[in-house]
Amino acid sequence: MGAQQDWEDRKRAWKDYKRGWKAQRREDRREARTERPGPIFGWRVWLLPLFLWPLAFDIPIEILRGNSSQLVGGILGVALAWMGAARMARGGPGDLRAGAILMGVAAGLTAGLAAKIFPPIAVAMGFGTFFGVRLLTADMAAYEPPPPAPPPPAPTPTPEAASLVGPRAQIARIRAAAPPLPHAPLLLEAVSAMQGVVDDLAARPAQLHEARRFLAVHLDGLVRIVERLEAGAEPPETLPQLLRDLTASAHRLRGELRQVESQALDIQVKVLSDRLRQEGL
Amino acid sequence: MDKPRPPIPFASAPLPVRLVLGFTLLAFCLWLPAFAALFR
């Protein structure tokens, strides 16, 4: 029994070791991929080894027939052509030429070994392939690797947040203008209360539509009052009361917004507890 | 590092000429041997 347990433990340890080694290798490969400098030329390069499609049928046939030299020629042809395409797809300087040479060697081996063509002609076919590949990929040499991507643009404000920009600017304007004006403490108190509303809305943009009227009417009105006072207007006697009313209304609105949130939470809690009850928990 | 290479013949020809010439060359020198290997 002990020996069995020992064996199981050793097997598990070996599996863990293997898994770690594989993960490490995967990580290394991913790093190598991301560090690759050049661009990737897609289908134009990978089209080229597809000219060798008959070898895909030829290789199994040669396996069945047992023609080793033809089999070696076919496999080498496919492998070298694939390596050449991969080399060209890397797109670094000189990779196009190196890939074309590989493709030429692949063609020469295919012709000489797999097709048993007269060797000088096979060599000439290798050169012809090299030349053809160079011709088809010549214009890709002028390809400049794209400049590094610009840093991602600053996150654009959501429509909700953007619609709070105006109110915030108005509040800042009132705050800046209020101190020398008559009834400055009341003005500042009202504007602080409104600031509270705007901050609440920024935290809960879903409720923005409920406070739109408040933002449009009260804040605009306060800005106009401040503008008139700045222009030297004599404040009417009802102004302090109005400012107090504005403050109170802002406080009330904050309370309502919070209440709506509380109700939503209430409903959520109820729904969830109902669901739990239905599921018999 | 970068040795001066002889220019590729016909590389400055118009694109259709390059395409036809390149594909013809590949058809003769790459596809034909592979096809011949299949049918020997």
Tell me the three-class secondary structure of B20-35, residue by residue: HHHHHHHHHHHHHHHH
């030329």: which residue's tokens? A41
pLDDT tens digits, residue range B1-39?
467 777 888 888 888 899 999 999 999 999 999 999 988
Q: What is the spatial distance between Cα A205 and Cα A165, in angstroms, rounded to a whole number? A: 13
At residue A281, the pLDDT reads 65
Interface of B with A in 1-40 (CB under 8 A): 2, 5, 8-11, 15, 18-19, 21-38, 40
| Chain centroid, CA A231 distance in Å | 52
Say yes or no for a CB contact (<8 Å) between A110 and B34.
Answer: yes
Say yes or no for a CB contact (<8 Å) between B8 and A135.
Answer: yes
Instruction: Report the 10 Å Cβ neighbour count for A90.
Output: 18
Say yes or no for a CB contact (<8 Å) between B33 and A114.
Answer: yes
At residue A206, the pLDDT reads 72
- Contact residues, chain A to chain B, C-beta under 8 Å: 48, 51-55, 57-58, 61, 70, 73-74, 77, 81, 93-94, 97, 103, 106-107, 110-111, 114-117, 122, 124-129, 131-136, 138-139
Q: What is the spatial distance between Cα A138 and Cα A74, in angstroms, rounded to a whole number? A: 27
Return averaged pLDDT per consecutive 10 residues of chain A, 281 residues in all: 86 94 90 61 84 94 93 95 91 86 96 94 96 88 63 67 78 85 84 84 75 77 86 85 87 85 89 87 65
Chain B hits for A57, Cβ within 8 Å? 38
At residue A143, the pLDDT reads 61
Tokens of residue A143, six digits? 């390809």
Nearest to A213 by CA among A203, A221, A223: A221
Tokens of residue A71, six digits? 């089999």
At residue A155, the pLDDT reads 63
At residue A142, the pLDDT reads 63
Please tell me whether the overall predicted TM-score, pTM, comes out greater than 0.80 for this model: no
Q: What is the spatial distance between Cα A248 and Cα A99, in angstroms, rounded to a whole number? A: 78
Nearest to A124 by CA among A115, A111, A133: A111
Q: What is the DSSP secondary structure assignment for residue A205, as one 8-state letter?
A: G
Does the complex come out with an ipTM higher than 0.85? yes
Q: What is the spatial distance between Cα B7 and Cα A233, in angstroms, rounded to a whole number? A: 84
Say yes or no for a CB contact (<8 Å) between B30 and A122.
Answer: no
